Amino acid sequence: MNWNFSEISKSFLKDDKGKLLVEGNFGMEKESQRVTSSGDLALTFHPAVFGDKIKNPRITTDFSESQIEMITPTFKSIEEVYAELDTINIEVENGIGDELLWPLSMPPRLPDEDNIPIARFPDSEDGKYMETYRNGLALRYGKKMQMISGIHYNFSFSEGMVDYLYKRFGNGNDKRSFIDEMHFALARNFLRYRWMLIYLFGASPYSHHTYYSVINNEIEIIQKCCQCCVDVIENFNKYATSLRVSRFGYSNALKNKHSIYFNSLEEYSEELRKLMATKNTEYSKLGVYKNGSQIQLNGNILQKENEFYSSIRLKQNTNEGETQLDALEKRGVKYIEVRILDLNPFEKVGLSIDEMNFLQVFMLFCLFEQSDIITEDEHARINLNHHLVALYGRKENLMLQKYNKGTIGLKSWGKEIFERLKNVAELMDKGTGDDKYCKIVEEEYKKLFDISLLPSERIHREMEENNENFLEFGTRYAINNSQKNIIRKT
């Protein structure tokens, strides 16, 4: 989908529809590890006060018994969803007793692999399925990698916004096809420019030494295929912004080398189903059953679609018995899930309202920017930029890959992108009659030329100034961020 932003902006202004740009539906999902006051992973069961994990729509677990997941309903404003996440966060803190919520994406001090508790579910068909899937993840990738946490940002455009775009730019095409194409075009640009979010919001430059086995294993793989890369890759701890989304974090894209380009719903569906139906030699050798118990769902490249790690997902509300992919194929794209955000230890719930507002500007930029089909070569460059910024984003004069060949400095490219972000923010502000979005974009722009403002650099400097290690820093913020026993007025 190729938009003309000049034409779009004139259209919104002429029709006095600028307010549609700030409308939408918003939801959040936050993962956090429960820890003891010493920063050790809590080995206790998921607190009974939260009830059945399958039935509680607000508080459940992710991979591990110790990994709480908080889920908000959908709201019409960022402020409302933020307030709800804060409320759930406080409820969780009050429900875990003397334990704390770990404020960082990279895990706390972990026990031996065998002692990391996989989430347990009721002895039902659904419960067994969910446990088997998690056992399969542990078998394939190791438990430590699965202990990484983050925040997922769910967003959909308002019906008014979609209807307006279709009316003005649909050219008589089928509405559902137009909506799908619109979202897939956005997703392609999100992939292209996600390195910017990793730079601005990455907050996982370090890990605890109990996680080093995962990193060392990855370095061994690199050593086997690219000996000359080893010296460079081992210097990541000087410059990293986000280990979480790097090749040392939660990503299976490199391990299995599967590529999905988001070029269309048909292509996306076909490729994902192929991955779920194709046997993987390594996983098949592990077996599906051991000593009479099922240890993974199957021996395929992906046990199910959730195992495909992507920094963005396009989703549809599901009916009973449907998978996400079934729902997408039947009814098309409904909303977007951004999965690239680290927990920010400097914010009590892991992110700020300003960060969420910037994301809204960024998503509109991704929607209105020209979005050609992604080729294999461009996809490789996109992924390289992702990992360069994740591991070396704080390095002076870092060079990135331009998608039409050649290289460009991070700051130079960032400046170009921010000019377009400012244009989007101005259009949003004209629609609301204030300057909120322009101010937010201006604040983020400062990070391009002052790395001391980056969360990753702030973590680095605080640890140095306080002579703290990773565990001490994380524990201090776990205590500082705790809002236990806060009573809210109704």
pLDDT attached to residue 440: 98
List of domains in the chain:
5-397+454-481 (3.30.590.20)
pLDDT attached to residue 25: 97
pLDDT tens figures, 79-133: 999 999 999 999 999 999 999 999 999 999 999 999 999 999 999 999 999 999 9
**Tokens matching residue 34:** 């429960």
Q: What is the mean pLDDT of the chain?
A: 93
Sign of CA dihedral 295, 299, 301, 304: negative
The residue that leads in pLDDT, 374 or 216, is 374
Would strands 100-101 and 151-157 be described as parallel, antiparallel, or unpaired? unpaired
**Tokens matching residue 171:** 């050219």
pLDDT attached to residue 255: 56
pLDDT attached to residue 172: 83
pLDDT tens figures, 447-490: 999 999 999 999 999 999 999 999 999 999 999 999 877 755 43
Q: Compute the distance between CA of residue 445 and CA of residue 426 in angstroms, rounded to an integer.
A: 15
The residue that leads in pLDDT, 14 or 273, is 273
Q: Compute the distance between CA of residue 306 and CA of residue 313 in angstroms, rounded to an integer.
A: 10
Residues 126-151, mean pLDDT to the nearest whole number: 96
Residues 243-267, mean pLDDT to the nearest whole number: 80
* pLDDT > 90? residue 135: yes
Show Cβ contacts of residue 23 under 8 Å, excluding neighbours closer than 6 positions. 76, 157, 158, 160, 161
Other Cβ atoms less than 10 A from the Cβ of 339: the count is 17
Sign of CA dihedral 62, 351, 387, 309: positive
Other Cβ atoms less than 10 A from the Cβ of 227: the count is 9
Instruction: Report residue 69's pLDDT band, with 50, 70 and 90 as the boundaries.
Output: very high
The secondary structure of residue 144, as a DSSP letter, is: H
pLDDT attached to residue 489: 42
Residues 180-195, mean pLDDT to the nearest whole number: 97
pLDDT attached to residue 226: 60
pLDDT tens figures, 188-202: 999 999 999 999 999
pLDDT attached to residue 225: 67
- Quick check: 367 and 186 in contact, CB under 8 A? yes
